[in-house]
Amino acid sequence: MKSKAKGLNFSVVILAAGNSSRMGLPKSILKYSENITFLENIIVENIRCGCDEIVVVLNKENEKPIKESLIHIPEEVKIVINRNPELDRFHSVKTGLQSLEKNQPVFIVNVDNPFTDIDVIYALLNGIDGAGYACPTYSGKGGHPVLLSQKLVKAIVAETKPQFNFKEYLKNYSRKSVEVSNEKVLVNINTREDYLRWFGL
């Protein structure tokens, strides 16, 4: 992977271990365009933004499309399995963070928000300013992805309690809200109706 410009290096953990019960199929295999899936697009665009380490968190069922070559993942991207997907999202976050090798800020990216914007990425990296984490906002509403500081990454990895609510856990740390001009930071593709609204494919 290419190193990021301006020395603002970062890692990415992509969360794709959910059951997608409302969608009816894994969101990772949804088509972002004719030739690329949600998961593939997130990976490609983050590499283009300069990310030098990516981990994808799946459950056993969501691993099948990769094994069946329905999704093509670059060799340098690490795949890890959340073997307890019934636990809260915090467990998937921790599973992904434990697999990282580099000590640098980490973006937590949900596979149901497949829109990667280089301006948003750079704004968060430049705007975290010593906070525990940074969050993009559009018209005052918080969105995705969340950027975790190195300090917060270490705290989550060291956490011994089995289960937390990720949003509640973040409230223990200082937050930097970074206003951006892209409304797609607020989007979650959870249902077929959501998908048709944004993609209509």
Q: Please write the tens of the pLDDT for every residue from 96-150.
A: 999 999 999 999 999 999 999 999 999 999 999 899 999 999 999 999 999 999 9
Q: Please write the tens of the pLDDT for every residue from 146-177.
A: 999 999 999 999 998 867 889 999 999 999 99
List Cβ neighbours of 149 (8 Å cut-off, separation of 6 or more): 105, 128, 130, 131, 132, 133, 173
Domain ranges of the chain: 5-198
Considering the domain 5-198, what is its CATH architecture? Alpha-Beta Complex (3.90)
The alpha-helical segments, DSSP class H, found in 1-138 are 38-48, 64-67, 89-98, 118-127
Model-wide pTM > 0.85? yes
Residue 51 burial by CB count (10 A; 0-12/13-18/19+): exposed, middle or buried? Answer: buried
Number of Cβ within 10 Å of residue 112's Cβ equals 23
Q: What is the mean pLDDT of the chain?
A: 89
What's the mean pLDDT in 15-19? 84
Number of Cβ within 10 Å of residue 10's Cβ equals 21
pLDDT at 152: 97
* Per-residue confidence band for 5, with pLDDT thresholds at 50, 70 and 90: very low
Choose between 62 and 73: higher pLDDT: 73
Share of the chain above pLDDT 70, in %: 90
